[in-house]
Structure 1
Amino acid sequence: MNKVYIVEGRHDYNRLKEIDPNLMILITNGAAISMTFIEELKRLEEDNELILMVDADNAGERLRRIITRHIPSVKHIFIKKEESTSKNGKKVGIEHVNRELLKEALSDIKTPTNLSDITFEFLYDLGLLGEPDSKKRRLALCEYLNIGYVNGKNLVSRLILFGYVQKDILEALHELET
């Protein structure tokens, strides 16, 4: 089964080709994704492994939600915002990631499983939702798990998507606190 990487733009495409010219890459052409493109992905999904690698910004997260909604089996690569910010600090994108980090990211593919016991109540009990410092704690957890940053509402979905269970979250928080 071939791997097909899905990126937002031409610069992302070029950056990945620098790492490995043999990668199969599709470009969404930004956040305005069409249903024609979604249908193309659905056809490709039949014989290929689809891997989503979008920017760590609002447009990238929007794309991630749309594509995941239509193609639940799509796999994910996350790159932290601070690792994908341009030198002048004004732009965020895969094209700004240094070569070594990009190579590492290509081997850290998250596969959706949806086998989880995570609930909103569990995250509230841990202070990841509904507390003054919840955002800070969520950010640290998301970074530790390398699942991209999400708000409280979407944290449950992201953890469930990748099959994290309560034990995983408790262990992660314990590691973060020590």
Structure 2
Amino acid sequence: MFQEMIVVEGKDDTTAVRRAIGADTIETGGSAIGENVLRRIELAQERRGVIILTDPDAPGERIRKIVAERVPGAKHAFLTKDEARGSRGLGVEHASDEAIRRAIDRVRGPEGGVGELQEIEWSDLLDAGLIVHASSARRRERMGELLGIGYANGKQFHKRCLMFRITREEFVAALEQLEREGL
């Protein structure tokens, strides 16, 4: 049995997650998360741990932010937009079993990666062309994929680097891969 409970948006996401990894889920019912749902997520975090897996879109990010603020220590799993794209839209329910398993394998938590932590500075994002650059949005999207922290605007990307304790080694390795890909 899978230890952590997976926080998802709806019943179709639950079906996809159960099919892929057999985990228990808590459904938020969309971005209007009720107090009762938040209390259940807090209890799940205390008892088993929680992984947030929401759609890679604005409502999914809003849900992720609400849950993360309420439940410190929750872990995060991210699907790329390509992994979550289906013929009827974008969402966890459209992801393949393999994509969901990969997202869970790349889970990030507040404890972060391996290695000595040297915080990523705002100037690192500027030097890497992740902000104030003609291709910064695309570069951040790919860096988010490589680091397993999802897509975000510049300010949120920096916050995620700090929140998920991305090490300088991880950042540099992802940046080198980005450069090899010609982005």
TM-score for the superposition, normalised by structure 2: 0.86
Tell me how far 1:66 sits from its aligned partner: 0.9
Q: 1:173 aligns with which of 155, 175, 178?
A: 175
Q: Is the CA contact (8 Å cut-off) linking 1:113 and 1:160 kept in structure 2?
A: no
2: CA distance between counterparts of 1:138 and 1:2? Answer: 31
Partner of 1:106: 104
Write out per-residue CA displacement over residues 107-159 of structure 1, whole angstroms, 9 at most, x where no aligned residue: 33212226551121221232211222221221221122221100001011111
2: CA distance between counterparts of 1:2 and 1:173? Answer: 33
User: Which residue identity does 1:60 align to in structure 2?
Assistant: G
Cα separation, partners in 2 of 1:116 and 1:24, compared to 1, 3 Å: farther
Q: Is the CA contact (8 Å cut-off) linking 2:9 and 2:30 kept in structure 1?
A: yes
Residue 27 in structure 1 maps to residue 24 in structure 2: no
RMSD: 1.9
Partner of 2:124: 122
Partner of 2:3: 2
Cα separation, partners in 2 of 1:20 and 1:118, compared to 1, 3 Å: closer
Q: How does 1:1-178 map to 2 (within 5 A)?
A: 2-21=3-22, 23-87=23-87, 90-113=88-111, 116-178=118-180
TM-score for the superposition, normalised by structure 1: 0.89
Structure 1 unaligned regions, length at least 5: none
Query: Secondary structure of the equivalent of 2:85?
Result: coil
Tell me how far 1:98 sits from its aligned partner: 1.4
Structure 2 unaligned regions, length at least 5: none
User: Which residue identity does 1:27 align to in structure 2?
Assistant: E
User: Which residue identity does 1:100 align to in structure 2?
Assistant: E
Cα separation, partners in 2 of 1:76 and 1:116, compared to 1, 3 Å: farther
